[in-house]
Amino acid sequence: MCLALPAGVSAQGTTGAAGVRVGVSASPDQFYFGAHYDTGYVYEHLSFRPNLEVGLGDNRTTVAANFEFAYWFPQRNQPYRFYVGGGPALNVYRYDLPNDSSTDAKPGFNLLGGVALRNGLFVEVKGGLIDSPSAKFGIGYTWR
C-alpha cells in the first residue's frame, strides 16, 4: 500500500514541473519572456505556480516576480485542461529615458486564466491590478 500511494498521487498531477513562457503585455507595451515552476496540487485542484517574467520595450525594462495560484478544473480523458487563478506580484521597473534612468519597485496583483494541453503547451491571459501590467497574453511550455 505504501508503494502504491506515491504512484497514485503522481497520477493526479501533484508532482512539480518547470517551464518557460513568452508573450506580450499592455501598459507597458512590451514583449516578455520568463520561467515558472508548478508545484503540482497543494490542495485538491489548486497548485502554486510562481513565475519570473522580464519585459522589454516602451522605454523600460520590467522584472515581475509573480506568486500565483492556479485552480485546475477537473476534466477526464481530454487533451486539454482549463485553469483560473491569481496572486500578488512584485514589479521592478527600470526606466530608460534619453536623459534620465531610474528604477522603481511596485506591488501588483494578477488575475489569470488559461488552457494547457497535456503535452505541456499552454496559452494564458492575465489581467493586472495595482501596478502590474494591465494585460498580458502569453504562451509557454511546462515539462512534465
Which of the 8 DSSP states describes residue 5? H
Per-residue pLDDT tens listing for the chain (144 residues): 333 333 333 334 558 999 999 999 999 999 999 999 999 999 999 999 999 999 999 999 999 999 999 999 998 899 999 999 999 999 999 998 888 889 999 999 999 999 999 999 999 999 999 999 999 999 999 998
Within-domain flag for 37? yes
Within-domain flag for 4? no
Within-domain flag for 1? no
Within-domain flag for 55? yes
Within-domain flag for 87? yes
In this predicted structure, what is the pLDDT of residue 14? 59
Return the closest-CA partner of residue 114 out of 106, 104, 122, 105. 122
Q: How far apart are CA 98 and CA 74, in angstroms?
A: 51
In this predicted structure, what is the pLDDT of residue 11? 36
Where residue 121 sits, what CATH number does that domain have? 2.40.160.20
Q: How far apart are CA 62 and CA 84, in angstroms?
A: 24
Is-contact 48 80, C-beta < 8 A? no
Instruction: State how many domains the chain has.
Output: 1
Within-domain flag for 136? yes
In this predicted structure, what is the pLDDT of residue 13? 53
Q: How far apart are CA 31 and CA 127, in angstroms?
A: 16
Within-domain flag for 3? no
Q: Residue 106 in 3-state DSSP?
A: strand
Within-domain flag for 11? no
How far is the CA of 124 from the CAs of 70, 116, 132, in angstroms?
11, 8, 16
Return the closest-CA partner of residue 80 out of 124, 38, 115. 115
Look up residue 48 and give its amino acid: F
Range of the domain at 88: 19-142
